[in-house]
Structures are given as C-alpha cells and as structure tokens.
Structure 1
Amino acid sequence: MRGYGQYCGLARSLEVVGDRWNLLIVRQLLLGPARYRDLIDGLPGIATNLLADRLRDLEASGVVERRLAGSGSVVEYALTPWGAELREPIESLIRWSAPLMVCGPGDDAFRPEWLALAVPALLGSRVKVRVSVTVGLEIGGSTFQLRASRAGFEIGPHDGRELDATVRAEPACILGLSAGALTLADARGLGLVEIDGDESVVRTVFAA
C-alpha cells in the first residue's frame, strides 16, 4: 500500500495493516501461531503468492515474526508483542460489525474457529458473570467450550472436561445471542437452538 503522506496515527496504522487480507492474517494469528499451510486453510480465497507477500510485509513492519515450531525445523508465524496489541481494535471491529452479520453467512465461507475471537469480544463488552461456568458450543460439527468467569470469557476446543450445558446452533444464532441481538427465549421459540444440561447457565452466559 502506498503511504498516505499524513502525520496521523490512523493513516500510519493503515499503511501497515490496511492492505487487503492483512487484518484477517492477524485474526488467524490471534488464535495462535500457525504454519503457512494452516494460514492458507484458515483464509479461504487467498492466493498462496499473495499470502507470502502479505506475511513478508507484516514481518518487515514488526507485526509478525517467524520462528521454529517446537524442536523441529518447521517454520511457524506468530504475532510480535506489538502485533498482538491489535486484538483490541479487531475486537472493537467485531462488535461494530454486529448489524452486518444479522443476515447470516449466505454463500460466504465460514470456519467455526473464527467464533473463538468473536464470541468473547461480543460477550465481554456487555455480560458479567459472578460464578465460573463452562458451556459447550456445537457448531458445524465442531465442539468448543466457552468458559465464563469474573475474569471474562475464553473459548477453545473442548478438552474433555464436564460441561454445565451444551448449546447446538448455527453460527448466526450464536453471534446473535453473543451480541444481545437475539434472546435465548426467542431463539428457543424459533427452533434455532437446542440446549442440553442446565439452561439457567446458558441464560447467565448469553444474558440479554
């Protein structure tokens, strides 16, 4: 991207992350360090040569770094501490996007792990829980666990621990519940969600 020639924080930030795909690459790396093939799989529609170019630019700017994965010789990409500070603006954009997500995915690609960033961002801005609970989310054949506590919300793959309740729903429904745009009662009434276990726990997490 060409420089804007403006002494403005927004302009200079966009010079680093404003190119197409850059923030989506950061999104993937906020989920955890990833190998090149993992990034290709997690970014449907990106060309391999374009991904290589974007990673090179982000690395040159100090947002991304390359390192060896474990004790092997395979290279993985990770955010630098400065790059990881993009979590806050990205979560703000996710919250801002709520009205754009109401219509559902349509023909757009979707990967369940993207909810690992979106759901805590949406819930954390409006819901406070007093006790620690763990809710399973079954979405698109994948099972995640959503941990809620006084410290906030965290989502990841189900690690086998006992769940207080399990929610089965489509991605748009989970996002609507997380954003407070859809109540659990309405979702149940419309047949958009199924719940196993303690429904009161689910109501606590997805408080309207």
Structure 2
Amino acid sequence: MSRSYGQYCGLARALDVVGDRWNLLIVRQLLIAPARYRELHDGLPGMATNLLADRLRDLEAAGVVERRLAEEGNAVVYALTPWGAGLREPIEGLVRWSTPLMVSGPGGDRFQAGWLVVALRALLTGKPGTRRSSTVGIEVDGQLFQLRATRSGIEVSPRDGRDLDAVVRADAAIVLGLAAGALALDDARALVEIEGDEAVVRAVFAARDPQLTGR
C-alpha cells in the first residue's frame, strides 16, 4: 500500500486504502460478482498478474476484500466484505459523473460488456419503476445480461436464467447513452435491435428518455 497522505480527512483516509492505481477497478469487478483470481484478472485487461496479487493483499489487509469458498465446489473466490461493498455508492457516483467523458465512444480503449452491469445500475438506480415487472436482456458484443424492472426501481445483474420479455442488442455507447438520458430511443432506433416486447424496453428507458422527461 502507498504511503499515507497523513491527513485527518475522510477523503484522504479513504484514498489511503483505495486510491492506488487499479484498486477501484478491482472493486468494480467484485461489485459485478465474486470472482476467482483468474476471472478477476481477465476482467482487468492491462493489469500485471503480480500487481493484482499485491493489490488484493493490500485490500484484504485493509478489510475491503475477503476470500471465501465458492457456492459450488471448493474453489476460492474473492469478494467484497460488507464494508467494502459500501464503495458501490461512491463508484456509482463517479460513473454518473463520467457521462460527458463517455459520449465519444470507446475509441481505442479496451472494453468488456460485463462492465455495463455496474455502469447501467449507476445510471438507472433511483429512477422511477415500471407499472408491471419485466426483465429485459441487454446484449452487447455477444454477452447477455439483464435489467429487472419493478415498481420499486430497476436492478441490473448478470444473466440468471429467468425468462426475458425482450432483448436489446446495440453497441455499448448506444446502451450507455439510453441509460444516461443522452439519447432518446426513437432517435437511436435504427441502431438498436429489439427482440420481443418493445413496449417493455420503452418503459425501462422512459425515465431517462430526454424526450419523455423534458430534459
């Protein structure tokens, strides 16, 4: 772990723990789901394996990450502790803050569709729910995950096998634009493939559709 800032300030002390390069991206991966070491490394392209081991050791020592047995089999997975899971709120805040930085698309940057699980939850959390419960699959680069819309709000998670009312296929930048309210579905309709009940898809994105919110 890097040297302490030596400041009696909540932000400084938080950065003492998670401010090192890669630490918050490790947390991002574990917000998606607990992961084995290899799975975790695969979700962090560009990170050296020895550096990941060092960062995990530091995060374990700080009480942010823990090792536990996987639900199936005897494999060891890394997971966030309850205290570590409290980083979801500030990470989601940073995702929302980053919206102007994302409108240009990925360019030459690496991208993994699984990262959208955290990003879409950040962009859609706290928005009005839908009148009826529905589940919409989002497929980006051949990877499918899901949005679960209920009266209480919208949840985003890896695919869990439940029936889907509709599937949306589009590039990552389009999906993020819809979730952030930077794009209206009607304006992007030619770039979005919808299989199933289109009305359900419109209901999920309606709260963020600038034409429907007046923003």
- TM-score w.r.t. length of structure 2: 0.90
1:172 aligns with 173
Contact kept in structure 1, 2:92 and 2:122, CA below 8 Å = yes
For 2:192, the aligned partner's letter is V
Looking at structure 1, the residues matched to 163 and 55 of structure 2 have their Cα atoms a distance apart, in angstroms, of: 41
Contact kept in structure 1, 2:128 and 2:152, CA below 8 Å = no
Contact kept in structure 2, 1:127 and 1:205, CA below 8 Å = no
Looking at structure 1, the residues matched to 133 and 201 of structure 2 have their Cα atoms a distance apart, in angstroms, of: 12
Change (3 A) 1:96 1:127: farther
- Give the secondary structure class of the aligned counterpart of 1:206: helix
Contact kept in structure 2, 1:134 and 1:165, CA below 8 Å = yes
Any stretches of 5+ residues in structure 1 without a counterpart?
A: none
1:199 aligns with 198
- Give the secondary structure class of the aligned counterpart of 2:182: coil
Looking at structure 2, the residues matched to 71 and 128 of structure 1 have their Cα atoms a distance apart, in angstroms, of: 34
Looking at structure 2, the residues matched to 149 and 170 of structure 1 have their Cα atoms a distance apart, in angstroms, of: 25
- Give the secondary structure class of the aligned counterpart of 2:124: helix
Looking at structure 2, the residues matched to 133 and 183 of structure 1 have their Cα atoms a distance apart, in angstroms, of: 20
For 1:196, the aligned partner's letter is E
1:94 aligns with 95
Deviation at 1:143, TM superposition (A): 1.8
Aligned-CA RMSD value? 1.5
2:162 aligns with 161
Aligned pair count?
Answer: 206
For 1:202, the aligned partner's letter is V
For 1:59, the aligned partner's letter is E
Deviation per CA, 1:147-204: give whole Å up to 9, x if none.
111232223344443322221100010000000000001101xx21111222221111
2:212 aligns with none
Deviation per CA, 1:11-44: give whole Å up to 9, x if none.
0000000000000000111111111111110100
Deviation per CA, 1:50-77: give whole Å up to 9, x if none.
0011001101111011223347553221
2:59 aligns with 58
Contact kept in structure 2, 1:63 and 1:82, CA below 8 Å = yes
Any stretches of 5+ residues in structure 2 without a counterpart?
A: 210-215
Change (3 A) 1:131 1:171: same
1:141-156 matched pairs, under 5 angstroms = 141-156=142-157
Moved more, 147-156 or 67-76: 67-76
Looking at structure 2, the residues matched to 158 and 32 of structure 1 have their Cα atoms a distance apart, in angstroms, of: 12
1:1-208 matched pairs, under 5 angstroms = 1-70=2-71, 72-188=73-189, 191-207=190-206, 208=209
